Amino acid sequence: MSSRSLRPVREKAVIFAALGDETRLLLLAKLSSGTRYSIGELTEGTKLTRQAVTKHLRVLEKARIVHGRHVGRQSLFEFDPKPVNEMREYLESVSKAWDSALGRLKSFVEGDPAQ
């Protein structure tokens, strides 16, 4: 398999890894409101340090789920739903493929000659 054909797989893996952390999911829940937040605002009301929030935001940025923009002296972060929507579509296609495979298996096991 070429490195070019592995690229989409790697991109999906990065997104899944980014979404596989409770802290990052909590940050995304807050960011999904559509409001831009500073690191300080994302840290408020949590036991997390600014450094920890920054680390998690960098992982989300690498996965293209969050974008940071410098405004004055602070960075504001916002949610980008496109990668999450792409993953939802991917999971739906995998689900359909499994449904089809299970349907064929059921027909085979039950001896349905139409299949």
**5-39, pLDDT tens digit by residue?**
556 788 889 999 999 999 999 999 999 999 999 99
- Identify each DSSP E strand in 25-81 by its residue range: 37-38, 66-71, 74-79
Of 83, 31, 87, 24, give the one whose Cα is nearest residue 58.
Answer: 24
Which amino acid does the sequence have at 32?
Answer: S
Per-residue pLDDT of 80-113, as tens digits, reads 999 989 888 988 988 998 988 998 898 889 885 6
Percent of the chain with pLDDT over 70: 90
- The answer on pLDDT for 75 being more than 70 is yes
pTM comes to: 0.76
CA 55 – CA 74 distance, rounded (Å) = 16
CA 8 – CA 111 distance, rounded (Å) = 38
